[in-house]
Amino acid sequence: YRVWETERVRTTCPHCGVGCQLNLVVKDGRIVDAEAAPGPANKSLLCVKGRFASYDFVGSPERLRTPLVKNPETGEFEPATWDEALDLVASRFADLKERYGGEALAAFACARSTNEDIYLLQKMARTAFGTNNVDNCARVCHAPSVSGLAATLGSGAMTNTIEDVTREADVIMLVGSNPEEAHPVFGMQIRAAVENGAKLIVVDPRDIRLTERADVHLKLRPGTNVAFANGMVHILINEGLVDREFIEERTEGFDRLARMVQEYTPERVAEICGIDARDLVSAAKLYGSAERAPIIYCLGVTEHSSGTEGVMSLSNIAMVCGKLGRPGCGVNPVRGQNNVQGACDMGATPGDFPGYQKLTNPEVAEKFERAWSTELSRVPGLMATECFPAMVDGRIKGLFVFGEDPVRTDPDTGHVIKALEALDFLVVDDLFMTETARYADVILPGRSYAEKEGTFTNTERRVQRVRKAVDIGGDTLLDTDIFTEIMNRMGYPQPHLSAAQIMDEIASLTPSYGGISHARLDGTEVAGQGLQWPCPNRDHPGTAILHVGSFSRGIGAYSTAEYREATEQPDGDYPFILMTGRILYQYNACAMTGRAEGINEVAPSSFIEMNERDASALGIADGDRVKVASRRGEVETTARVSDKTSPGETWMPFHFQDGNSNWLTIAALDTIAKTPEYKVCAVRVERA
């Protein structure tokens, strides 16, 4: 008879940015299953992570269930009441602010949490802390997409939708993106498009599974994207495959671009990129002669010291061919975490209020000061990757980390630990005892996506509902209540608002979210399809395709960025290039997927892919234990020997604590967006 107590709660997958819709099956107050639901991006599909790793972690016995305060004498964490923990957090941050100013504090937002959580976190930083040192993990992934697409097109987001780029495309160009592992349901739809006749160009230093279906695979040397893109434009111009009308009516600076790319002949580009010039010409002709061809890209473009330039160079390709503002076209960054798009939209960035409204714009700053009834700092803050050196040299004394684990995920782990140890006060708000939380003074147990109401914004700018399915018991608090209480205790009074009320506040201050509310998302008009921003008012249906008729910035601007080498090149001591990335089964630092038993059985630990020629020269066989060292650290892991990577190149997943690749990676930063160069550092490999 207890079957009658089973219910299904429609919500959004907590893993990647595709934003698949799923039903959490709840029985007797526990989530016992997850089923695919029909969503606009997923068409009733789920990948292994959404299907099998979206609920075990929610009720895991390893969840933090009470606030913890570190005993300074013993270094051990001891349980505390919420009043004790929150009073301590508020008084220590207030004291640091009093002594050193708000600029000595910083906050990192969780890109897996809801828009409503993230909005309040950045509000807490800007009002109670008095700083714009607030950022999110887009800084270590797609921040160059925000800066690069905003500079060239005007909006730092995916231009089109998953549906139109897979259903309408004649040719799909994938650059530095492995969607069948990192965004699997998008990957499935790309594969289906190719099986239905679309041509495929893969631009990637590794053989990904979709390479087997590619018409052209440009197996670039890591770090040479800008040379590739400039070479494409060179060929498109020479072959007469550019759209002169589009160029003249909608863009500026084409002549300067045309002059710059003259030097990027197919032969020169082939030499820089380590590819065959004929393949580059084939790719350019295939893309240029297609009526509809989207560029879909990911971290293989952004995670370079030239990441923003790489993104801008992709905009060049689409603009010279007039492949923007139409279905089946565009420049489409695939965002990594479920709500990293929302984290940027919500203003968890050091230079922008919510909706990318510049804090240096006096009218915007005054609007927020009026709405929040306080004076705000107008000095752009430090980006997250700039905060770590600032902790080491004492400029930042206090840090609030919400749902991120930089010890696992940021480059050069040794430096991250040194930075955290230098802090006067560290607070971590998380679900589990993470590697970062071990360095905290106070740990606050927040709630997961299945224990709260809210919204996520997927990679297509689509705002979708997150719904509460269960309570897990214990002494956890809603994260919005945690931030509200800290604001109250730091002398910035705030009412406790529901998630729906917080979204109303967001809409009232953020033009691109102006028409979005929980009531609308839950209503029959939207009918479970979400709303894509810009959605400026309550009658607006949302915007599927950006830049129709004109660019968000008015006229499209070309980049004339030249190719430059990655920061660290292999040499005699460290002869291999290391790239890092994601695998299908695990997600980021495994906090959620690592609690699903079946997932851990198939993908339990780290490995390094290396070319068979290199392995053979070093006497390494497939499955051997190896030591991998860079100038920053050393780890032990397992060798996977194949020809997926080219000779001289290696690849590791970044998910795992054992053999964590970030002990090796370099914190060389993109010159504009300050995103680390995870895709190129120099390593040595030897038998363990």
Choose the binding region for ligand SF4 from 12-20, 25-33, 297-305, 555-563 (rule: CB under 6 A): 12-20
Stretch near ligand SF4 under the rule CB under 6 A, chosen from 47-55, 271-279, 363-371, 526-534: 47-55
106-117 b/e (C-beta count within 10 Å ≥ 16 → b): bbbbbbbbbbbb
Give residue 590's region: left, alpha or beta (phi > 0; psi -120 to 50): left
By the rule CB under 6 A, 15 interacts with ligand SF4: yes
Length of the chain measured in residues:
688
Calpha distance 638→201 (Å, rounded): 31
Tell me whether residue 338 or residue 645 sits nearer to ligand SF4 (CB atom). 338
Handedness of CA 599, 604, 607, 609 (dihedral sign): negative
Shortest reach from residue 18's CB to ligand SF4, in Å: 4
Please give the size of the binding site for ligand SF4, defined by CB under 6 A. 14
If the CB atoms of residues 449 and 483 are measured against ligand SF4, the closer one turns out to be 449
Output the smallest distance, CB 80 to ligand SF4, in A.
35
Residues 241/321, Cβ–Cβ less than 8 Å: yes
- Shortest spacing between CB 118 and ligand SF4, in angstroms: 18
Q: Which is nearer to ligand SF4, 415 or 462 (CB)?
A: 462
Looking at beta carbons only, is 47 or 344 nearer to ligand SF4?
Answer: 47
Classify burial at 527, counting beta carbons within 10 Å of its beta carbon; exposed 0-12, middle 13-18, buried 19 or more: exposed
Residue number, 49 or 191, with CB nearest to ligand SF4 = 49
Q: x/- site string to ligand SF4, residues 591 to 630, per CB under 6 A?
A: ----------------------------------------
> Rounded to the nearest whole angstrom, what is the least distance from the CB of residue 265 to ligand SF4 in the complex?
40
**Token representation of residue 581:** 């990335």
- Which lies closer to ligand SF4 via its Cβ, residue 32 or residue 617? 32
Distance separating alpha carbons of residues 31 and 81, to the nearest angstrom: 28
Contacts of 33 (CB under 8 A, 6+ apart): 24, 25, 55
- As measured in angstroms, the least distance from the Cβ of 447 to ligand SF4 is 19
- Closest approach of ligand SF4 to the CB of residue 439, in Å: 29
Say if residues 615 and 661 touch (Cβ distance below 8 Å).
no
Tell me the residue ranges of DSSP E strands in 369-514.
Answer: 398-402, 425-430, 442-445, 454-457, 462-466
140: contact with ligand SF4 by CB under 6 A: no
> Shortest CA distance to 431 belongs to which of 443, 439, 422, 423?
443
In the bound state with ligand SF4, the residue whose beta carbon lies nearer, of 385 and 459, is 459
What values do phi and psi take at 57, rounded to 5?
Answer: -70, -25
> For ligand SF4, which residue of 26, 31, 37, 47 counts as binding (CB under 6 A)?
47
Residue 296 touches ligand SF4, criterion: CB under 6 A: no
Angle formed at CA 560 by CA 334 and CA 165, multiple of 5 degrees: 25
Q: Please report whether residue 39 would count as binding ligand SF4 according to CB under 6 A.
A: no
Cα(222)–Cα(374) distance, integer angstroms: 48
CB of 470 to ligand SF4, least distance (A): 19
What residue ranges in 151-191 does DSSP mark as E strands?
Answer: 171-175
Residue 564 three-state SS:
coil
Q: Report residue 380 CA to chain centroid gap.
A: 21
Q: What's the closest the beta carbon of residue 372 comes to ligand SF4, in angstroms?
A: 33
Coil/strand/helix, residue 341? helix
CB-based contact 294:200 (threshold 8 Å):
no
The sign of the torsion formed by the CA atoms of 670, 672, 673, 674 equals: positive
- For residue 162, the minimal CB distance to ligand SF4 (Å) is 10
Do 273 and 228 meet the contact criterion of CB atoms below 8 Å apart? Answer: yes
Query: From residue 159 to residue 198, what is the string marking binding to ligand SF4 with x (rule CB under 6 A)?
Result: ------------------------xxx-------------
Contact between 18 and ligand SF4 (CB under 6 A)?
yes
Q: Give the binding range for ligand SF4 (CB under 6 A) out of 18-26, 191-199, 502-510, 623-631.
A: 18-26
Q: Which is nearer to ligand SF4, 428 or 592 (CB)?
A: 592
Judged by CB under 6 A, the residue of 10, 11, 31, 42 near ligand SF4 is 42
Distance of closest approach, residue 584 Cβ to ligand SF4, in angstroms: 9
Q: Tell me, residue by residue from 378 to 417, as one string, x for binding to ligand SF4 by CB under 6 A and - for no binding.
A: ----------------------------------------
Closest-CA residue to 440 (of 423, 428, 431, 432) = 428
Question: Is 331:149 a contact under the CB 8 Å cutoff?
Answer: yes
Q: Which is nearer to ligand SF4, 182 or 281 (CB)?
A: 182
- Among 11, 31, 40, 49, the residue binding ligand SF4 under the rule CB under 6 A is 49
Cα distance between residue 263 and residue 251, in whole Å:
22
- Return all residues near 688 (Cβ < 8 A) that are at least 6 apart: 624, 625, 626, 627, 636
CB of 355 to ligand SF4, least distance (A): 24
* Contact with ligand SF4 (CB under 6 A) among 46, 96, 272, 419: 46
Pick 54 or 122: Cβ nearer ligand SF4: 54
Residue of 10, 11, 20, 449 that binds ligand SF4 (CB under 6 A): 20
CB 64 to ligand SF4: min, Å: 24
- Closest approach of Cβ 383 to ligand SF4, in Å? 26
Tell me, rounded to whole angstroms, the distance of Cα 629 from its chain centroid. 27
Could you tell me which residues come within 8 angstroms of residue 373 by beta carbon, excluding any fewer than 6 positions away? none
Kindly tell me which residue out of 10, 13, 411, 645 binds ligand SF4, with binding defined by CB under 6 A: 13
Decide if 127 contacts 487 (C-beta within 8 A).
yes
Nearer to ligand SF4, 34 or 666 (CB): 34
Q: Which amino acid is at 632?
A: R
In the bound state with ligand SF4, the residue whose beta carbon lies nearer, of 133 and 161, is: 161
The residue nearest ligand SF4 at its CB is 50
Q: Are strands 68-70 and 442-445 parallel, antiparallel or unpaired?
A: antiparallel
Cα separations (Å) of 527 from 266, 522, 531?
50, 7, 10
CB of 264 to ligand SF4, least distance (A): 36
Is 219 a residue that touches ligand SF4 (CB under 6 A)? Answer: no
Decide if residue 477 touches ligand SF4 (CB under 6 A): no
CB of 111: closest distance to ligand SF4 in angstroms?
Answer: 14
User: Beta strands of 16-104 (E only): which ranges?
Assistant: 21-27, 30-36, 68-70, 77-79
Segment contacting ligand SF4 (CB under 6 A): 17-25, 139-147, 211-219, 361-369?
17-25
Interface with ligand SF4 by CB under 6 A: which residues? 13, 15-16, 18-20, 42, 46-47, 49-50, 183-185
